[in-house]
């Protein structure tokens, strides 16, 4: 990976660490989906005939589903502890 790309990735991942933890595993999931999107973009860039927009949409959708489910679990756990 070229130096400029590494710097961009490093900045993005650092910013992920500054994001508010909205549910258990939020930051880790965010870092993982960003890494997956960057990997897909690199594949697309080198000529792989993948539909990059479709892959990004799928990653975003699956991440949003994870977050919704995790927030439900967190809320249920809080209610159970009351």
Band of the pLDDT at 1, cuts 50, 70, 90?
low
pTM of the model: 0.74
Question: Residue 81: pLDDT above 90?
Answer: no
Contact 67, 29 (CB under 8 A): yes
φ and ψ at residue 3, rounded to 5 degrees: -55, -45
SS3 60: helix
Model pLDDT for residues 24-60, shown as the tens digit of each residue: 888 889 889 998 988 888 888 887 777 888 999 999 9
Q: Measured between alpha carbons, how far is 44 from 51 in angstroms, rounded to an integer?
A: 8
Contact 53, 60 (CB under 8 A): no
Tracing tokens 């249920």 back to the chain, one arrives at: 76
């Amino acid at each position: 990976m070229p130096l400029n790309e590494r710097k961009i990735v490093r900045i993005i991942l650092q910013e992920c660490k500054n994001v508010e933890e909205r549910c258990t595993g939020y930051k880790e999931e965010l870092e993982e989906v960003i890494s997956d999107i960057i990997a897909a973009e690199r594949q697309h860039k080198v000529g792989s005939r993948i539909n990059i927009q479709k892959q990004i949409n799928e990653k975003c959708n699956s991440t949003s589903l994870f977050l919704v489910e995790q927030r439900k679990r967190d809320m249920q756990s809080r209610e159970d502890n009351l």
